[in-house]
Amino acid sequence: MMRKLIVMAMVAGLVGVGGYVRNASAGATIDLVFVSKNGGAIAATDTVTAAPGDTLVMNIVMRNDVGLSGHAFSIQYDLSGTPANHELDVRARQNWGGIAMSKTNVVYSPLGGPSGGFSTTTPTFVGSWQSTNGASSNLLLLPSAGAFAGGYTIGTVGWKVSGGVATDGQDILAGYFNPGVDGLGGANFGDIAGTALFHGATVNVVPEPGTAALLGFGLVGLVLAGRRNRA
């Protein structure tokens, strides 16, 4: 029964993908924000430069402008379609622990706790991040305000950079990619999936020093060969 509260028969497309925009207004806005690289904190950003072997931690931040009875969404990544352009591997995934909605500690939280609710991770998919208001008819996750004006960090993903191309646009997208599960619920569990705004994230991979040196030597060789041919 509780799982049906998440499902709510919401199968919807991706509403929007863009940069890390804090001031967009929507029923819910989802930002993907890198906060750590190789174990050290970095300024929150939706675009990061990394080398093969680097590790990254990305927060999933949700800001809601309306009360929510439930949410569920997932992530697609490395969508280039060719093994040569594969850039990222999922190292870890976790939902948040939830947040109290009342003084009696009624919690808006994931089904199954922080490690629950996930489908099988694939080379292009991870999710779903989800929470409900526990079937309450009068308690909703309040719009982000006060201490939570910047939104709620509702989950994290740990990545390992595997290689790939130097830059090819956005690598990580959030949206309703898990049909029959993903969606957004407002008051009285109404379907408000169409009011969500999703933002993506980008990892620009730089070659390892040895690879860069070999590339440089190769370019020098081509230049010298061209000069000899002209002579």
Nearest Cα to Cα of residue 110 among 128, 137, 91, 126: 128
CB 28, CB 2: distance < 8 Å: no
Entry pTM: 0.80
Give the pLDDT of residue 8. Answer: 35
pLDDT tens readout for residues 56-65: 999 999 999 9
At residue 23, what are phi and psi to the nearest 5 degrees? -105, 10
Q: Provide the 10 A C-beta neighbour count for residue 35.
A: 17
Give the pLDDT of residue 23. Answer: 45
Q: Is the peptide bond before 144 cis (omega within 30 degrees of 0)?
A: no
Query: What is the biggest distance separating any 2 CA atoms in the chain, rounded to whole angstroms?
Result: 86
Write out the two tokens for 137. Answer: 């008819």
CATH topology of domain 2-230: Immunoglobulin-like (2.60.40)
Give the pLDDT of residue 212. Answer: 38
Nearest Cα to Cα of residue 6 among 118, 95, 110: 110
- What is the 8-class DSSP label of residue 113? S
CB 96, CB 155: distance < 8 Å: yes
In DSSP notation, 34-79 reads: EEEETTEEEEEESEEEE-TT-EEEEEEEEEESS-BSEEEEEEEE-T
Give the pLDDT of residue 17. Answer: 30
The torsion angle over the Cα atoms of residues 77, 88, 203 and 40, rounded to 10 degrees, is: 130
Residues of the chain with pLDDT under 70: 1-25, 81-84, 164-168, 208-231
At residue 227, what are phi and psi to the nearest 5 degrees? -65, -40
At residue 57, what are phi and psi to the nearest 5 degrees? -120, 130
Query: What's the rounded Cα separation, in Å, for the pair 174 and 77?
Result: 9
DSSP H or E run through 213: helix 209-230
